[in-house]
Structure 1
């Protein structure tokens, strides 16, 4: 078995081979995506929407995230496991942020990710000081959708672009080991990537970052509506429906189970 990927390994990939991160929320998919060769597994708060059917990530809490982080960690992947800090798990106080991040580390996460920029510098500094690796997340922040007016493109206005660039600089100074840039103008993401010394990972922000991340259920075709920046690599929903439909048909026609699927008390 290859060695476990470390924070240092990710940092060293800056300006080298592209970094690949994918979301996974359970033991089975963590095993599969790790076998596929991803570098990082993000246990994202997107689990609330794609798995639990919630309207947004604002409804996701620590209890839900701990369940999924522990499930992924039990797969013991080679990939680095990053736990998303859910809404209000790090905003209330530095102390509470440390406590919650520490719980994820104890459950097997290798790092945590927080949304937001310069306003969370103190939180990042204290986490890093405590020995907790932190991934930043700038540009579109889904947890701020009520303030920003939904899921809209970022970096189109000069003042907004300047804020995103400044956020990247401040987060790097605070000690994050990498930064996710979401749904931001590609030229702004490129500028950030060139300017900072840590890896950037894009989602909907163009090809110029040091890596890319997508939601697993989007690339597998398990979600009805996928974002405009995602790509469906297989229509797994069609395959699932076909397989279950065949099972339904065979049971009702008494074609399943057949003799190899059961045993008798008196033997053959």
Structure 2
């Protein structure tokens, strides 16, 4: 039986760390399930690691549907989370519901929306209509042009307080999970303490409910410069499944991320 959001919330409340990985096809879904991964995210990162694009912006809803269905067919236990692609939910609440419903029909159990306070009403609208939502705050790759690049978010007390306030609003609107990307560890800890929903970090330190990384990053398949929060779990592994198992074990044991994968509150001078 597939893991439910209620089960994930109970695990997080009991102090068990949640292990999430991106996944885009049935074959990798089989391996991720066998390795004990709790959550599989069909991320719009597929635009970069699968399609070879520079950003996530060109990924379409139809492409996401296709990959959600592939992953869902490849496993029976992990929780299935799907990204809402750029342009598929920002126009209106009604547009967001219409497109989220397509991803749920394809096999997703929850959809992920990038954005903070401006996504509160959309989140509430979806949750009230039976669509579970994961909120994504901090560095939101769909807004990378607005940020001027892939930059750490939440540095400085004003920015940190704003991030905490946004998380609380999204939590109150019904978010079932909150993902934070590239934020200082102490800020992520403040968010986790302020909300009821489990928090997932990617470059957000240890004091969150769980971790997520891009599958192709932990397998050292994606070329180019790696983000600070990435760790190559293929190093020392004898198989792909062994590398995934090492990642899950490290998350559960709280040995990943290490200090070298975290962002300090102040930018290096």
Question: TM above 0.5, one fold?
Answer: yes
**Please, which runs of 5 or more residues in structure 2 have no aligned partner?**
241-269
The RMSD of aligned alpha carbons is 1.7
Q: How many angstroms apart in 1 are the aligned matches of 2:93 and 2:178?
A: 20
Q: Map 1:37-116 to 2 at 5 A.
A: 37-116=36-115
Q: How many angstroms apart in 1 are the aligned matches of 2:8 and 2:21?
A: 14
Determine if contact 2:178/2:199 at 8 Å carries over to the other structure.
yes
Greater RCO (Cα-Cα under 8 Å, separation 6 or more): 2
Determine if contact 2:23/2:41 at 8 Å carries over to the other structure.
yes
Match of 1:232? Answer: 232
Determine if contact 2:164/2:194 at 8 Å carries over to the other structure.
no
* Structure (1 or 2) with the larger CA radius of gyration: 1
- CA apart distance, 1:157: 2.2
Match of 1:219? Answer: 218
* TM-score (norm. length: structure 2): 0.85
Q: How many angstroms apart in 2 are the aligned matches of 1:13 and 1:154?
A: 28
Q: Deviations over 1:132-156 (max 9, x none)?
A: 1111111100000111111001111
**Please, which runs of 5 or more residues in structure 1 have no aligned partner?**
241-268
Q: How many angstroms apart in 2 are the aligned matches of 1:37 and 1:137?
A: 24
Q: Which runs of 4+ in 1 moved over 4 A?
A: none
Match of 1:156? Answer: 155
Determine if contact 2:135/2:170 at 8 Å carries over to the other structure.
yes
Match of 2:244? Answer: none
* TM-score (norm. length: structure 1): 0.85
Q: Deviations over 1:180-210 (max 9, x none)?
A: 0100000000011112111111100111101
- CA apart distance, 1:21: 0.5
Match of 1:10? Answer: 8
- CA apart distance, 1:235: 5.6
Q: Which secondary structure does the structure 2 equivalent of 1:92 belong to?
A: coil
Q: How many angstroms apart in 2 are the aligned matches of 1:122 and 1:191?
A: 23
Q: How many angstroms apart in 1 are the aligned matches of 2:207 and 2:47?
A: 29
Q: How many angstroms apart in 1 are the aligned matches of 2:109 and 2:66?
A: 16
Q: Which secondary structure does the structure 2 equivalent of 1:131 belong to?
A: coil
Q: How many angstroms apart in 1 are the aligned matches of 2:203 and 2:187?
A: 12
